[in-house]
């Protein structure tokens, strides 16, 4: 293939991004960042470039990250045993300190630095900053089905999000990168599931898209084939008939709530694919499952 | 090639545009639009999309168009003979009316409409609008080398450009599309060479780039090979030794003046290549000759 | 008369303009400019000065011009026969090109230049600029009264006006001068009656006044006397009893729609009177017929 | 004369004001208001209308008023004897209270109200407001020529003007009306000559014009003929040869300082002429003496 | 007591002001200033400092002052007899001039100067300035209970307040100081009760607090004990049973109307207490009676 | 003491803060927060209130915190031995991770939360956020005096500070709280001395004051008495004669550089005194040593 032709192919592909940039220009996209995309070097780099590119072409990315594995590693290192209840880590105050240190001090700043290295200007936030994520203790029912509540410590849910600090950064050249930690009215820190924070934030910011980067292909049907587009109603059917189950359930729940509360579309995409974010937003190549309201 | 892989190639190409978008973000690029790129349907469409895409990714394109062939066609149609002196059309007042009608009424609005169809918001201007291109009669020496001045009518040169109306449109979502007509202090209209207007405008707007779309590959050396990058000094050498001559001379002169007056780079590119503009600005694939100061 | 006294008379007259300037300060006035006021040199000059003066004293004039006679002349010149249906020129695509050239390239720029010569800063626009006049094909019923539609080509009506570009110019020192050409959703150009465009624009801009410059004294009663002030209801009576008929009907219709849609008053005035516009806006000397709602 | 023709004459006169409005648009004009123009009912009304009209056509009038006669009347009424030294009223603290009451409470508010009645929005200020006129005690030499200083009490001169409050009002719809009272660094009030305040203010505001309304025709030559235009140099000659003398001297001195410190022109005009201000600013009919620098 | 300890006490007291500053930050407080606080030197100085301090900590004070005693003194001095009807001074035009002079020229400027001496930037206004207090003649019924109206001259009530000039000053560093004079639609001046003006202004500005400085402790119960907090309902009970009577009635009426029209709280406080204003706003030490709606 | 009198004392003390608030209004104060003030509960609470109060009264506090002891504790806990060279911790990459976790994740967010609990809106930043602290590796000479450089790992010094993100937060209601971590051009994290960061930031922000909270009384003379005020010259004398030595030297050096680079005053104050910050800024009770330029 001659150089000329390769160049023209490039140009054609760039030009094909035009309608997508037009559609999402000036809009906000909340991205839950986690899984392999957050641990494999090449994927990390590509993710950072994708985020910077979106910002430059006039789309406002807001990144919410997880960090469960990193927390687990560090707890092990300091010789702290982790106990889990219904998939959630029982989080005493000492564990919560470790959570804040790992998420806010290490993971968050690594992502910030990665984006900065690509020419972006990321600013890391925890929900304590400007008190913007107000949290409350998550109430968990015992599995025995009786009315007793389990105490799993500083695990929280979102009570209210004050979008001012995020919007302020958004409206400038800055890219907000958010650690999913909330602050109770009493000043206590709470560890919140990152999908939940991303979903809530997408609703509060009236985002165009909620994108959940996962280590799966997306939502699969019973024969294991990818379902590329689903309505809220179809999703509920798939939950009812057991097609969607297990670890996908909480993610699908965040997605559903978002599209039922003003977010145009939610996406459960495969973060293991290089440039998954860019493909999802700027091309017609779907890399997972799109969910829309109605 | 699997679909997945094609998608990833797309993503890679998009990601490769990142450093170019970063470099030119918020900058102004003045484009002289003419030649085949203005007459072939496919090229016209691609040009319009390129302009809209540049605007969307935060770069401010300003288009200056020519229209010599269209003027010639129309003059023929109304049975008006054209006389040329040193390559310039002798332009009596009646001819000037035709020039204004064809450039300002037809060609300009066709480009405006083309860009609008691609989702842009172009606004056509002639130099009379807001009186922004102040012109004076071009003085042409007789070829005999004597001191006599030839009268070629309403052919003008730029006296002064008031950038306010262009900057105003630029700072909003609008894309200025400019017909190279100037207004004398006495209110008379003057036909000005479009390359000249583009070069002057690039200087006044402190543009990052001046891009001249031509029907040539660019500047060629004596053996007909493309010279992809030249300094101002090298250009002067090539003029001196006759490598650059004829119709390329006035274009190269505009380019030189621009880079000597604050424009970072000037480009003489091949408008016959699809998406030539996009290739020039957003990729490492040169499609012509770059000229820089120093 | 002594110099002193003449001076004082001047001062008195200037002072008498005060309540009119106060009433219309910061308001927009849409003026349909046409007829003799657009062809006689002295009247043209006076019109341009009037427009500049209104702008300076804080009133925002928006000029919409016609150009039927100029189009006709030019069509004749290029040997193109004009056919009329119900008073409208059948406009094939070739004719439409001529319309755009004459209106947008020649007439519009001449008015722009005229205003600039008086110290104003006019900017010419066609409805294609920024795509601000969205048009659709005018549907014309055959005269036979049957249900058949006549094809008269690129003759359009206003579908929607996007006031942004006009308001932007208006809010600065610029005076918009508009050629009545609209753009279809398919990018096609349409020739629209200038009265219609002026009326629609006045409504969209929530103008204070719509002023139609004509070659008549205004609306006359059956005995040929000028009716200086009419309510919408009275106008409808005069249409019903045949006092208003013929060429006045479409003008009166534009005026009626405007005052029924938020424009305070519409004026059909005699453009043959020197400074007719100034007299209408800044003095108590009516020069035509005022129509108001209710 | 037919009505039509009278109307047209009006229009012509209005149109003739265009170049003046253009020249002074957005400029500030400081007017010392006093003498008959401040006491005769018809002149007062005309002055108020003139000020409102100037504001409306985009010129910013700032009014500084005197009030010597009114102060004298009131002092007489409260049985307080006035003593004068070199034409200045010896002003003890009790007298100063009366000065503030008459100037700030009565005269100032009467002018404010007069302007408001004509549709303007005047705001009265004394130099104490926002502390904007910082004054110091005027030092007066004894007439004996010895080095002794006379104590004439609370008579002051301008030390410094802080233009913020005046500019703030100016930049909105408000018309500042200023009583010539200054505040010392110790909070004491000082009575300052209104011509001096007007002159200083014109310099500080970088005004286009300083207009002093007087009860004279202007500066006269030795034979009593009006001198309509003078340069600073010519003025100095006329002072040297005794043509300008007496009460005109301090006025001419204010005018000179103003034109030597950035004010374009100073005008000593005849406030007894109806609409003197309007004639001066908006017509070619001079009503007094113009002084310019150089 | 050691210096250290005294210093710490200071710090503690400053720190205790925090919640009050937080609560009232960015809010407007309208203060009726009168009585001893306006005549005793030490109290005047403290009042001025309090006002400046409030402004600096982000609260916007608006001062409305009275001046009855000063008017009375001056009338006596010019030998003008005062007649009172139902506690209101019969105000002929000559008296009204004196009122304007004393309130607007003397008292207002003294307060302005006092605040400026403490580092504030006060600007004095009468209701004539910008025509911001539109007044109408107060109608007073004869005491005989018959339908006859008494003529007490230029005594007015508030018809409408245009908050623009006050808000403009408020939004900058300026502190408005207002003389309670209104302007009729005919340009006539009216003397209005200062409590009334303060109450009306508080409503128009949607103030947080209306503070009436008086020469009483506040509202007392039948045994002479201070009532520190009252609801609107309780106030009405106390009026009904005669606990509140006489001179307190009009004050209490202003307070009631204010809290029923959007002002959070009204305060009748003891202006004889040093720093009464500061104590009321920034500490938990009440110095009078608080009235709130509901 | 009666309640009344206690209240009045409060008011007096509040009023005494006026000149200090006036002087520092709108100014920025950079505070190095550390030592006991950061570990004792009562002092922490008072510090947080002081910061919130300063913000509310219009002064912009910027907090830079240390955290050496907390880092040491945590390193011990994870069984990591600390080695020190010339008082600086040798910081390998693993240690640097711990530094970032403890400073950015734990200490920073605890201060943020503390300020939020007092009603402020603190936002925590590390120098990585927005890449605002660009750092480079600190070069340390071996003690042997030879030319060999010691490698102490990720210990850095400030290369450049980009004030945009801090100024953005500052200009709104937010209080920046900064962990002294810098980012190298290669994306590496560096631990920087907090005094250094505070000093540099004060210079970049053109702060009014640099306040270093310490666990000492301030600078003492040879007999152990506090020196309350020193010029830069005096400080240099005290260094020369050995009065200032040891751990005070780097602090005094930061202070000196700040006052020599545009910061008005630097303060080394006793953070063990309750409300030390408030005392320093808003009262005349010095609590340490003031250093000024010249």
CA atoms of D71 and F11, how far apart (whole Å): 43
Cβ neighbours of B57 in A, within 8 Å: 21, 56-58
ipTM of predicted assembly, 2 dp: 0.93
What is the least distance, in Å, from the CA of A178 to any CA of chain B?
24
Task: Of F212, F215, F208, give the one whose Cα is nearest residue F197.
Answer: F212
pLDDT given at position D10: 85
> D157-196, pLDDT tens digit by residue?
999 999 999 999 998 989 999 999 999 998 999 999 999 9
- With CB atoms and an 8 Å threshold, state whether E21 touches F46: no
C7, C52, C278: residue with CB nearest D285: C7
> B146-182, pLDDT tens digit by residue?
667 788 899 999 999 999 999 999 989 899 999 999 9
Specify the length of chain B in residues: 294
Rounded (5°) CA angle D124-D127-D131: 115
How many CB atoms are closer than 10 A to CB D44?
Answer: 17
Alpha carbon of residue A86 to chain centroid: 21
Pull the structure tokens for residue B3: 């679909």
How many CB atoms are closer than 10 A to CB B247?
Answer: 11
**Look-up of token digits 């797309």:** B10
- With CB atoms and an 8 Å threshold, state whether E53 touches F10: no
- With CB atoms and an 8 Å threshold, state whether E112 touches D106: no
In this predicted structure, the answer to whether residue C146 has a pLDDT above a threshold of 80 is no
Pull the structure tokens for residue C279: 């007299």
Partners of F268 in the β-ladder = F212, F289
CB D268 within 8 A of CB D219: yes
C-alpha pair distances (Å), E217 with each of E80, E235, E268: 34, 16, 8
Task: Of B102, B210, B97, B89, give the one whose Cα is nearest residue B156.
Answer: B89
CA atoms of D201 and D64, how far apart (whole Å): 9
C-alpha pair distances (Å), C293 with each of A135, A290, C248, C252, E25: 58, 53, 18, 13, 49
Cβ neighbours of B16 in A, within 8 Å: 10
CB of C80 within 8 Å of a chain D CB? The answer is: no
pLDDT given at position F88: 86
CB of B45 within 8 Å of a chain C CB? The answer is: no
How many CB atoms are closer than 10 A to CB F174?
Answer: 21
Portion of chain D with pLDDT greater than 90, in percent:
78
Pull the structure tokens for residue D37: 């123009």
> D111-124, pLDDT tens digit by residue?
999 999 999 999 99
Cβ neighbours of E21 in F, within 8 Å: 53, 56-57
pLDDT given at position F1: 38
Alpha-helical runs (H) found in D120-247: 164-171, 194-204, 232-240
CB of E166 within 8 Å of a chain D CB? The answer is: no
Terminal Cα distance for chain E, rounded: 47
List all residues of chain D from 83 to 112 with a beta carbon under 8 Å from chain E: 97, 100-106, 108-109, 112
Pull the structure tokens for residue F294: 């010249």
C-alpha pair distances (Å), D173 with each of A113, D129, E164: 51, 19, 10
CB of C58 within 8 Å of a chain D CB? The answer is: yes
Cβ neighbours of C56 in D, within 8 Å: 18, 21-22, 25, 57-58
- With CB atoms and an 8 Å threshold, state whether D13 touches C13: yes
Task: Of B135, B96, B131, B67, give the one whose Cα is nearest residue C106.
Answer: B96
The secondary structure element, H or E, covering residue B288 is: strand B288-292
Pairing outcome for strands E60-65 and E175-179:
parallel
**Look-up of token digits 């003690």:** F143
In this predicted structure, the answer to whether residue D4 has a pLDDT above a threshold of 70 is no
Q: Which chains touch A (3 or more CB pairs under 8 A)?
A: B, F
- With CB atoms and an 8 Å threshold, state whether A129 touches F117: no
pLDDT given at position C85: 86
Pull the structure tokens for residue B107: 């060609």
In this predicted structure, the answer to whether residue C2 has a pLDDT above a threshold of 60 is no
Pull the structure tokens for residue D181: 């009272």
pLDDT given at position B1: 38
CB E213 within 8 A of CB E113: no
Q: Residue E91: which residues within 8 A CB-CB, separation 6 or more?
A: E99, E152, E153, E154, E155, E191
Q: What is the pTM of this model?
A: 0.91
pLDDT given at position F239: 95
CA atoms of D117 and A27, how far apart (whole Å): 51
Q: Percentage helix, strand, coil, to 5, in chain F?
A: 45, 25, 30
- With CB atoms and an 8 Å threshold, state whether E7 touches F279: yes
CB C129 within 8 A of CB B122: yes
CA atoms of F60 and F37, how far apart (whole Å): 20
CB B277 within 8 A of CB B210: no
CA atoms of B108 and B177, how far apart (whole Å): 7
How many CB contacts within 8 angstroms connect chain A with chain B? 116
Cβ neighbours of D7 in C, within 8 Å: 279, 283, 285, 287
How many CB contacts within 8 angstroms connect chain D with chain E? 101
Q: What is the per-residue DSSP string for B222-275?
A: TTS-B--EEEHHHHHHHHHTTSS-TTHHHHHHHHHHHHHTT-SEEEEEETTSTT
Each residue's pLDDT, cut to its tens digit, for chain B (294 residues) gives 345 577 788 888 888 889 999 999 999 999 999 988 899 999 999 999 999 999 999 999 999 999 989 999 999 988 888 888 888 889 999 999 999 999 999 999 999 999 999 999 999 999 999 999 999 999 888 766 666 778 889 999 999 999 999 999 998 989 999 999 999 998 999 999 999 999 999 999 999 999 999 999 999 999 999 999 999 999 999 999 999 998 899 999 999 999 999 999 999 999 999 999 999 999 887 789 999 987
- With CB atoms and an 8 Å threshold, state whether C165 touches B183: no
pLDDT given at position C285: 78
The secondary structure element, H or E, covering residue A75 is: helix A68-77
pLDDT given at position F3: 52
Mutate to test the interface with D, among E104, E122, E135, E177 (most CBs of D within 10 A): E104
> F101-154, pLDDT tens digit by residue?
999 999 999 999 999 999 999 999 999 999 999 999 998 887 666 667 788 899
- With CB atoms and an 8 Å threshold, state whether D10 touches C16: yes
Q: What is the per-residue DSSP string for C152-173?
A: -BSBEEEEEE-THHHHHHHHTT
CB B234 within 8 A of CB B243: no
Specify the length of chain F in residues: 294
Ranges of chain F whose pLDDT falls below 70: 1-4, 143-147
CA atoms of C122 and C115, how far apart (whole Å): 6
pLDDT given at position B247: 86
Task: Of E128, B273, A128, give the one whose Cα is nearest residue F110.
Answer: A128
- State chain A's mean pLDDT as an integer: 92
CB of C23 within 8 Å of a chain D CB? The answer is: no
pLDDT given at position A180: 98
Mutate to test the interface with E, among F9, F13, F14 (most CBs of E within 10 A): F14
Name the 3-class secondary structure at C56: helix
pLDDT given at position D239: 95
Partners of A10 in the β-ladder = none
CB of B172 within 8 Å of a chain C CB? The answer is: yes
E6, E14, E285: residue with CB nearest F17: E14
pLDDT given at position B83: 87
Cβ neighbours of D274 in C, within 8 Å: 8, 11-12
Cβ neighbours of C100 in B, within 8 Å: 105-106, 109
Task: Of E70, E166, E159, give the one whose Cα is nearest residue E124.
Answer: E166
CA atoms of C50 and D243, how far apart (whole Å): 45
Please give the average per-residue pLDDT across D56-71, as a whole number. Answer: 95
Name the 3-class secondary structure at A141: strand
CB of C171 within 8 Å of a chain B CB? The answer is: no
Cβ neighbours of F58 in E, within 8 Å: 56-58
pLDDT given at position E4: 59
> F222-232, pLDDT tens digit by residue?
999 999 999 99
CB of A211 within 8 Å of a chain B CB? The answer is: no
Pull the structure tokens for residue F118: 């007092």
Task: Of E190, E209, E286, E191, give the one whose Cα is nearest residue E254.
Answer: E209
Rounded (5°) CA angle B86-B90-B91: 145
Can you say whether the dihedral through the CA atoms of A191, A193, A195, A200 is positive or negative?
A: negative
Burial class (CB in 10 A: 0-12, 13-18, 19+), A57: buried
How many CB atoms are closer than 10 A to CB D220?
Answer: 16
pLDDT given at position D94: 92
pLDDT given at position B105: 95
CB of A128 within 8 Å of a chain F CB? The answer is: yes
Mutate to test the interface with D, among C9, C10, C50 (most CBs of D within 10 A): C10
Burial call C222-243: b when 16+ CB within 10 Å, e when fewer = eeeeebeebebeebeebbeeeb
Portion of chain C with pLDDT greater than 90, in percent:
78
pLDDT given at position C30: 98
- State chain E's mean pLDDT as an integer: 92
Portion of chain D with pLDDT greater than 70, in percent:
97
Please give the average per-residue pLDDT across D241-247, as a whole number. Answer: 92
Name the 3-class secondary structure at A71: helix
Q: Residue C161: which residues within 8 A CB-CB, separation 6 or more?
A: C132, C133, C134, C200, C201, C204
A97, A122, A168: residue with CB nearest F172: A168
How many CB atoms are closer than 10 A to CB E16?
Answer: 17
Cβ neighbours of C125 in B, within 8 Å: 123
Q: Percentage helix, strand, coil, to 5, in chain E?
A: 45, 25, 30
CB E132 within 8 A of CB E180: no
Model confidence band, residue C4 (pLDDT cutoffs 50, 70, 90)? low
Instruction: Give the pLDDT means over successive 10-residue stretches in chain A (294 positions).
Output: 68 88 95 92 95 95 95 91 86 94 96 96 97 94 72 93 96 95 94 96 97 95 94 95 92 96 96 92 87 87
CB of F52 within 8 Å of a chain E CB? The answer is: yes
> B32-51, pLDDT tens digit by residue?
999 888 999 999 999 999 99
CA atoms of A4 and B277, how far apart (whole Å): 14
D101, D103, D125: residue with CB nearest E102: D101
Mutate to test the interface with C, among D3, D4, D15 (most CBs of C within 10 A): D15
**Look-up of token digits 């007999």:** F223
In this predicted structure, the answer to whether residue C1 has a pLDDT above a threshold of 50 is no
Rounded (5°) CA angle A32-A35-A38: 80
pLDDT given at position A86: 82
């Amino acid at each position: 293939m001659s150089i000329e032709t390769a160049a023209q192919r490039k140009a054609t592909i760039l030009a094909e991004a035009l309608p997508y940039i037009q559609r999402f220009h000036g809009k906000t996209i909340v991205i839950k960042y986690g899984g392999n995309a957050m641990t494999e070097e090449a994927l990390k780099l590509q993710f950072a470039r994708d985020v910077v590119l979106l910002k430059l072409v006039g789309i406002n990315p807001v990144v919410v990250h997880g960090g469960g594995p990193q927390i687990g590693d560090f707890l092990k290192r300091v010789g702290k045993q982790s106990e889990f209840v219904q998939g959630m880590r029982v989080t005493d105050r000492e564990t919560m300190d470790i959570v804040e240190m790992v998420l806010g001090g290490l993971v968050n700043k690594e992502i910030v630095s990665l984006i900065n290295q690509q020419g972006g200007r990321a600013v890391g936030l925890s929900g304590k900053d400007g008190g913007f994520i107000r949290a409350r203790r998550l109430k968990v029912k015992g599995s025995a089905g009786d009315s007793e509540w389990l105490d799993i410590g500083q695990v929280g849910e979102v009570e209210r999000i004050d979008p001012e600090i995020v919007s302020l950064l958004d409206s400038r050249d800055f890219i907000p990168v958010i650690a999913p930690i909330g602050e109770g009215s009493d000043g206590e820190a709470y560890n919140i599931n990152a999908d939940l924070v991303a979903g809530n934030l997408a609703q509060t910011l009236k985002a165009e898209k909620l994108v959940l980067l996962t280590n799966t292909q997306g939502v699969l049907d019973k024969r294991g084939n990818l379902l590329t587009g689903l309505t809220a109603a179809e999703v509920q059917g798939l939950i009812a008939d057991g097609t969607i189950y297990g670890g996908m359930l909480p993610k699908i729940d965040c997605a559903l709530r978002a599209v039922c509360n003003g977010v145009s579309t939610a996406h459960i995409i495969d973060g293991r694919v290089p440039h998954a974010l860019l493909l999802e937003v700027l091309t017609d190549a779907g890399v997972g499952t799109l969910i829309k309201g109605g």
